[in-house]
Amino acid sequence: MIKKNTLDEALKTYGKNYVPTYGDIKYLLPGEHLREVHTGGWRLEYFVIDLMLGCKEGLIDDSPNFGTLLQLLSQKSSPISAALAITIDMGK
């Protein structure tokens, strides 16, 4: 996983519709992605456990009734799909 703005910056010299290869991503990413553990992007378990659950990355939507998140989702022009789904039950 890679932040969009980090990937955009790494690929800024390529055309708008360029589809990067793994090699492009591995060798163009700056900063922490140069370390062997993060080569080619964050591993899923690092992102979810360390960054997302640690409140270091992701969207914190404290608007009434999740208005910000709903607005972001309504701007999608195609369905969101993933090979993996994660559900976090916070219990009340």
Q: Domain extents for the chain?
A: 4-58
> What's the confidence (pLDDT) of residue 59?
72
Per-residue pLDDT, 75: 77
Please list the ranges in the chain whose pLDDT falls under 70.
1, 32-40, 78-87, 91-92
Taken in order 20, 82, 41, 54, is the CA torsion positive or negative? positive
Closest residue by Cα to residue 24 from 33, 52, 32, 76? 33
pLDDT at 14: 87
Q: How far apart are CA 10 and CA 89, in angstroms?
A: 36
Residue 86 to residues 47, 48, 74: CA-CA distances in angstroms? 12, 9, 21
Residue 33 CB coordination number (10 Å): 21
Amino acid at site 74: S
Look at residue 11 in the predicted model and tell me its pLDDT. 83
Q: What pLDDT is recorded for position 85?
A: 61
